[in-house]
Structure 1
């Protein structure tokens, strides 16, 4: 098989790979080997893979091939490799969580999400890199090092699912499982030109993800190069598992669709007015996507979200209020083994009861405000990140002429973790520096169907096309 043939495999999406395997046009062994060759060629530059399960994957591919030849019933991911953020448990495979404290950790069982991808016929191929405890917007740690953005190795792929986004963008994996507490699937997806879904809180079980103490805010979610693959991943991952007490939505729960039959989808869009400062090229992409939706028949209107307040501050208060005491206890006597992010956590003071309670009150108020918004609109279109992929380690950034702290990267994503609303990162275009630009679609609780439909209509409309990282 020549390089062109291999590229046709490792840059095919999971839906297409599953179809080719099912129709016997490709064998699972060919699919796995093409991805292993791609990993060997590109991972030394990107450093997205922390544990490679190549031998096991080839064995599983041979079993999958026999199932195809025998005419057995095949799952929707049969014979397709997938990647797994290293915060999710994998039976018998190291799960290091980006920390020396867990460098030897080998779980006995799979996270629910991993088990569901495997049950759908998917073949686990790798664990991917993350910041320590998944607690930073850049993917770096003392165990497995720093991950680079495949579009520009001097830029970050983001965090905390930065290893996932980089691996998928570079063709090392067609589809994977990440997680999101403030930005962590959507932001890395936008930085690397792929798609990712943070579904309604509780739609996808959190079982088997670390840390458990912040499960009120975390979301496990699918990541892939196309929206249709994200929709496929979501269809496999969703539904209660009988363990996660927040995962109460039945697998086939209908969306909360209030539209009258034949009524067009109502979309509000906003950029600087709610999340500024925003890079002008990103605002232009959001406006372009809004115009595209209008051309497709949606009712589109620019909005302002005056009720937004400071959701990032509130989210950071409640998340750190829960994780700080836990990490202090976990790391007691081993503080010298922590990365800078872990040190920052243990050195952080616990919030006062008043501050913590005030943040929870802000969360409830924001939920109510968005409930009102979604009485008028079916979706919100906005930026994912206010800027394109940032230089490694940047603590201050200049966005549209304004100096902002690194935390500003979370300004347009954190409101939807605080409220538990579903949000989709859609690959849309490229900047003047040839860096990916994504747009974000948000819908009312349990109405993932609307944003997945809209995302499929607009993805890669702004110039990204079939362009890929030049590695």
Structure 2
């Protein structure tokens, strides 16, 4: 799970491992793997470089003439980012074009991939950072495991499979190859059948 998706909270990692174990116990072949293409270049880094250049001009136009307190926090965050130099933008585009090849190689051998959805359990609103394994991380890391799907167009589905020590839900992400939605929906249904969260009841 790391470093391809960035730092992951141990509670999240244990839930993903539990989902993988559940599928293994159902008779499926489950193996830990590494995607060199995903680990060589952190997808979130070059996604931000491209994304900021794509949306920053439109946001600047939309909020022109408005005071700071009238602008949504995410819009302020985007506007505060420096412009991406053209050479960096081109390099990011090239990295984004290489990423699908790495996934294509993976899906020649495997039917699906089980990953985190978020790197941490539930968090509060209006935050600037998250804490992962005792380290402060950018709020953008929340997209670390989902941005690769945005870049490549791969299908994914999120399923609750665990509960944090604080009682909050933890989801796992099932990722499939292009046009293989039926495969990931089938795997998601298997996880739904065996997850213990379906047997939880509210305290009275």
For the superposition of Structure 1 and Structure 2, which TM-score range results when normalised by the shorter chain?
0.7 to 0.9
Deviation at 1:429, TM superposition (A): 1.4
Q: 2:150 aligns with which of 407, 417, 423?
A: 417
The answer (yes or no) to whether the contact 2:36–2:102 under 8 Å persists in 1 is no
> Contact 2:12–2:170 (CA<8 Å) still a contact in 1?
yes
Q: Larger RCO: Structure 1 or Structure 2 (Cα < 8 Å, ≥ 6 residues apart)?
A: 2
Any gaps of 5 or more consecutive residues in structure 1?
Answer: 1-270
Alignment partner, residue 383 of structure 1: 116
SS at match of 2:83: coil
- With normalisation by structure 2, the TM-score equals 0.88
Partner of 2:45: 313
Aligned-partner SS, 1:416? helix
Q: Distance in 2 between matches of 1:469 and 1:412?
A: 30
Match in the other structure for 1:274? 4
**Alignment: residue pair count:** 200
* SS across alignment from 2:119: coil
Alpha-carbon contact 2:114-2:172 (below 8 Å) kept: yes
| Higher normalized helix content (fraction of residues) | 2
Question: Is the 1:273–1:304 contact (alpha carbons within 8 Å) kept by the matching residues of 2?
Answer: no
Describe the shift of the 1:427–1:434 C-alpha distance in structure 2 as closer, same or farther (beyond 3 A): same
Unaligned runs of 5+ in 2: none
> Match for residue 292 of structure 1?
22
Deviates more, 1:279-288 or 1:433-442: 279-288
Q: Give the alignment partner of residue 104 of structure 2, picking from 329, 347, 371.
A: 371
Match of 2:60 among 310, 317, 328: 328
State the TM-score, normalizing by the size of structure 1. 0.40
Q: 1:115-264 maps to which residues of 2 (within 5 A)?
A: none
Q: Displacement, 1:273?
A: 5.2
Match of 1:304 among 20, 28, 34: 34
Counterpart check, 1:342 vs 2:75: yes
Deviation digits for residues 383-411 of structure 1, max 9, x if unmatched? 11111001333323332233322222211
Q: Is the Cα contact below 8 Å between 1:285 and 1:439 reproduced in 2?
A: yes
**Bigger radius of gyration, 1 or 2?**
1
Q: 1:313 to 1:276 in 2, by over 3 A?
A: closer
Q: Can you list the C-alpha shifts for 1:397-428, whole angstroms capped at 9, x where unaligned?
A: 33223332222221111111111111111111
User: How many Å apart are 1:379 and its aligned residue?
Assistant: 0.5
Distance 1:274 1:341 in 2: 25
- Contact residue 430 and residue 462 of structure 1 kept, 8 A: no
**Structure 1 residue 452: Cα displacement:** 0.5
